[in-house]
Amino acid sequence: MEWNIKQGKCEEIEALLEDSLEGALESEGARNLLEVHLRECAKCREALEDAKSSRRLLKWCESAPEASPGFARVVMARIWAHQDQAGSGRGLVQALVTFASRLAITATLALGALIAYTAVAPPAPNTEITAMNAEGRYGLFTDPAQRAVTRDDFLRMVAETSHGQK
């Protein structure tokens, strides 16, 4: 890239200052631009000196400690624990889904059976007899006048129903 020396304002030069600090000024044009700018700009010269000093200061700081020897094993153990947890969670959900689907199938079958039964069932019986049967008072006999009072009456009426009425 060709650098235009006239464009060498302080803001535009900062990236080059960082490059020069790192020894990463590659192009001849960039080096010339920086040189010319620094010759004329006391502020940038001072900033460059500050940056160099702070770089020296930071070398005194400690970097991160070494990872513990079992770091990778601990990570794998955490992964396996996570998988177990996720697996048991999935198992519970799976069981619920199975139960729900079986319940739905049973309900569908029951409903189907009910519909089929309704479709082929005989017509409803005489409502009067049904009502009386429900009350449980008359049993086989539809006429209240024929109601048995004694045990003998009852046996006689049964005999008449079975034989006499035929």
Residue 132, Cα to own-chain centre: how many angstroms?
Answer: 58
Query: CB-wise, 56 or 163, nearer to other proteins?
Result: 56
- Identify each DSSP E strand in 68-108 by its residue range: none
Q: In the complex with other proteins, which residue's Cβ is closer, 5 or 15?
A: 15
Does 93 bind other proteins (CB under 8 A)? Our answer is no
Per CB under 8 A, contacts with other proteins among 7-26 are: 14-15, 17-19, 21-22
- With a CB cutoff of 8 Å and minimum separation 6, the contacts of 16 are 25, 30, 33, 34
Q: Among candidates 150, 144, 143, 133, which has minimal Cα distance to 165?
A: 143
62 vs 152, beta carbon nearer other proteins: 62
**Residues that contact other proteins, how many (by CB under 8 A):** 35
Residue 70 binds other proteins, judged by CB under 8 A? no
Q: Is 42 among the residues that bind other proteins (CB under 8 A)? A: no
Q: Can residue 60 be called a binding residue for other proteins (CB under 8 A)?
A: yes
Residues 114 and 119: their CA atoms lie apart, in Å, by 9
> Two tokens at 147?
């109601």
User: Residue 81 corresponds to which tokens in the numbers above?
Assistant: 């624990």
With CA atoms as reference, report the closest residue to 48 among 25, 24, 16, 26: 16
81 vs 95, which CB is nearer to other proteins?
81
Interacting span for other proteins (CB under 8 A) from 27-35, 50-58, 110-118, 147-155 = 50-58
Contact pattern for other proteins over residues 138 through 157, marking x by CB under 8 A: --------------------
Phi, psi of 24 (to 5 degrees): -115, 20
Site for other proteins, rule CB under 8 A: 14-15, 17-19, 21-22, 47, 50-51, 53-68, 71-76, 78-79, 82
